[in-house]
Amino acid sequence: MSDPEDVLLAAAERVATATRELWARGGDPRAAPARRADAAARRIATWLEAVFGDALPCAPCEAPPAAGRLERALGAPAPWRLRPQAAAWTDGARIQLPRARLEGEGEDDAAQLLLAALAQGLRAARGRAPAPAAPPPARDVRFALEAALGDAELAALLPGLARALDAARAAARTRRPDLARLHPAEREVERLVRDLLEGPAAEARARVERVLGRPAGADAIAAHAAAVAARCADARYRGMAPVEPWGVPAGAPAPPRERASDPAHEPARARVPRRATLPRPVRRRALDEGEAEGRSGPFALPHGDPHLAVQDARGVVRPEDRGDEDLDALAEELARAGELPVVRSGSEPREVLASEQRAASGAARAAASAAAGAPRAFTYPEWDAARAAYRDPGIVLRERPLADADRGFAARVRREHGPLLSEIRRRFEALRPRRAWVGRQIEGDAVDVDGIAAEHAERRAGLTPEGRVYARERPQRRDVAVALLVDASGSTDAWVSRGERVIDVAKTAALCLGEALAALGDRFAVYAFSGRGPADVRVFVAKRFAEPWGEAARARIGALEPDRATRLGGPIRHVTARLAQVPARARLLLVLSDGKPDDDDAYEGRHGLEDVRQAAFEARRAGVRPFCVTIDRAGPSYLPRLFGPAGYTVLWDVRQLPARLPALYRRLAVG
C-alpha cells in the first residue's frame, strides 16, 4: 500500500495537470503552438527517461537561413540551402528539435519528433556527440555510418517502433537531392547515405559492415571516413543534405587553418631556470597587508612554483630577472633572512632556490620519472558555455607516473596519526563482506542442520527428498570502484599550521583513505592534477586500479608536491574514462580541491565553472558519481551548480580532512 504522502503528492499532481489543461483551453489562441511544444517536450522527456534512464533537456531549433540573392548570383548554393528545413541535433548535453514539429498537431509530427528525439538520445547515451574535429566529408561520413547503426539499435531496442522507423527512412530516401546537381565529392557521400537508408532499419548494421568491409566499430568507421576525406581533399564540398530521422551533426567545425606562420599559435619554448641550493631551509609565511607595494629592489625571486615569488620583509620587490645574478650569494642572503613571505608573479622563473632536503627529493623524483618513461598524452574537449558547444580539440592532458621517492612519508604518517589509522582499519575491516554459508546444497563443505530437518519433514509427509543436506561457503565481494582525484595546484602550497601545508594534509588524507579502502577490499585508484593552460594539463598517477596497495603506492602519494593551476574539467573527464573501464556496479569519483577552477586564461571565470559542471554531468551519464570535498569556505556559492546540491561537502578546518575523508566515503559508498 502506498504511503499517505505519496497518495497526496499524486493527487496534487493530477489536480494541477487538470487545472493547467482547463486554463489552456480557455487561453489566448496565439499561445496554442507554445503549449503544444511544451506538451510535446514533456512527452519526449518521458520517452527518453524510459528508454535511456535519463532525459536530456529539449529545446526548439529553427531552420538555417536560406541562400540569399548574392550567394545565388555569385555561386551555386547546395540544393538543400534553397529551402532549408530544421533538423534535430545534440551536443551530448541537450537535444535540439525542429520547432515546426514540436508545435505541429498532426500524427506525423508526433511520430517524426519521437524518432528524431530517440535517435539523438541514443547518440548522446552512446557517447557519439559531439563529433571530433575533422574535414567536413569525414565528419559527414562518420555521422551517416553512426546514424545507420543507431537505426539498427533502435529497431532492436524498440521493435514496436520499427515499422514507423522504416517508413521514416523510406520517406527520407525519396527526398534526397538530385545527384546531377551535386559535386563529385558530394555525390560520393550522397550515394553512401542512400545505400544506408535502403531497406528496413533492422538490416542497417549489415549494410554498414558491407560498406566498411569488416565488423562495424569506431576504428573501422574512422578509417573509412578518413579514406573518403582523402579522396575528396581537393574537391569542392558543400556538405550533406539533412536526413530527418538522423538529424545533423552538432557544431560542424570549420576547415583547419594553416598555423605554421602564425606566431600566436607557436608553442612557447621551455626555458630551463638556473638552480642553486639554499644552505638552510627558509620558512614561508603569508604576505602581510601593504607588503605587495614597494620600491624596486634585489630581494624577491621566483621560488618553487612558477606562480609564486619570494620577497623580503621590507617590502622590496625584485626587478625582472636578467640571468646575471650570483645565485650562491643570493641563496646565502635569503637563508640569513630565515623567513620570507610568498607572493604571486606573472612571469616564468629564471632561477629556483631549493633547500637541500627538497633538492635531494626533487632530484630523486626526476630520476625516477625519467626511468618510468615519457608521459602519455590525451586530448579532451572543453565546454564553451558562451557558444553552448564543445571546443574540440580543447586540451592536451598528459598522464605522468609519480616517483616513489618519499618512502619515509608513510612512516611519518603512521608515527603522527597511528591511533587514527588503527581506528580506520578496525572500522572498515568490520564492514568487509564475510564468507557466507549457503544451505540446501546437494554437495558442500559442511552438513546443513536445517536441510536435514527439512528432509526428515518431507519424508514424514510422504514426499521424496532431494538430498539437499549440505552447506557451501561462498566468498562475497563488494562491487564498488572509487578514484580519488587530489588538487595539486600551486595554491596547495599554503600553510595551515606550523610545518604543515594544504598539500601535506591532502596527502595524509589520501593515505588514510587508501588504508580504509584496502581494509574494505574495494578497488581504488589515486590521482592528482594540475597544469597551466589548455596545452599542458597534468594528471599524476599515485596508484592504478590494477596495482596492489603497498609501500610503493604510499611513497608515490608522499612524493606529491604543489605544481601549477587548477584546470579541473579535463582531469575529471580523464579519471571518469579510467573509472568507466573498471567493471563495477557502483563507481565513485572523489575530487579533493581547495578552491575554484582557475588558470592563466579565462578558465578562472565562468568558462572554468561551466566546463567543470559539464564534466561532472558527463561523469554521471557514464555511470560515475562525482563528489567534491573542498576546504574553500565559499564553496556553497558555486559547488551546487557544479556537482549538485548533494554532490559536495565543505570542511571548515582542513586539519579534519584525514579523519573526515574515510568517514565520508563510508557514508557515500557503504551506507
Specify the range with the lowest mean pLDDT, choosing from 257-271, 391-405, 547-561.
257-271
Most confident of 18-32, 224-238, 303-317: 224-238
The residue ranking higher by pLDDT, 552 or 652, is: 552
Torsion of CA 594, 595, 598, 603, to 10 degrees: 130
- Contact 633/605 with Cβ under 8 angstroms? no
Query: What is the DSSP code string of 566-580?
Result: B--HHHHHHHHHHHH
Q: Is the pLDDT of residue 533 over 80?
A: yes
The answer, as to whether pTM is greater than 0.85, is no
Q: What does the pLDDT average to over 226-240? A: 82
Dist. CA 476–CA 431, nearest whole Å? 12
Q: Does domain 409-431+478-670 have CATH number 3.40.50.410?
A: yes
At residue 50 the predicted structure's pLDDT band, cuts being 50, 70 and 90, is confident
At residue 26 the predicted structure's pLDDT band, cuts being 50, 70 and 90, is low
User: Residue 569, Cα to own-chain centre: how many angstroms?
Assistant: 6
Specify the range with the lowest mean pLDDT, choosing from 110-114, 235-239, 382-386, 493-497.
493-497
Retrieve residue 666's grid coordinates.
563510508
Dist. CA 102–CA 45, nearest whole Å? 13
Query: What is the DSSP code string of 577-621?
Result: HHHHTS--SEEEEEEEESS--B-SSGGGTHHHHHHHHHHHHHHHH
Specify the range with the lowest mean pLDDT, choosing from 338-342, 528-532, 627-631.
338-342
User: Residue 236, Cα to own-chain centre: how many angstroms?
Assistant: 37
Please list the residues that pair with 308 across neighbouring strands.
344
Helices (H), 126-217: 136-157, 162-174, 184-197, 204-212
Dist. CA 305–CA 563, nearest whole Å? 6
Dist. CA 426–CA 416, nearest whole Å? 18
Q: What does the pLDDT average to over 284-299? A: 47
Domain boundaries, the chain: 27-231, 274-372, 409-431+478-670, 436-474
Q: What does the pLDDT average to over 505-530? A: 87
Predicted pLDDT at 121: 85
Q: Is the pLDDT of residue 415 over 60?
A: yes
Residue (of 561, 576, 566) closest to 525 by Cα position: 576
Rounded-to-5 percentages of helix, strand, coil across the chain: 45, 20, 35
pLDDT tens, position by position, 558-586: 888 888 788 899 999 999 999 988 888 78
Q: Amino acid identity, residue 165?
A: L
Length reported for the chain: 671
pLDDT tens, position by position, 112-124: 888 988 888 888 7
- Contact 89/59 with Cβ under 8 angstroms? no
H-helix or E-strand spanning residue 58? strand 58-61
Q: Amino acid identity, residue 39?
A: A
Dist. CA 247–CA 239, nearest whole Å? 14
At residue 61 the predicted structure's pLDDT band, cuts being 50, 70 and 90, is confident
Residue (of 146, 166, 167, 147) closest to 155 by Cα position: 166
Residue (of 397, 575, 584) closest to 483 by Cα position: 575
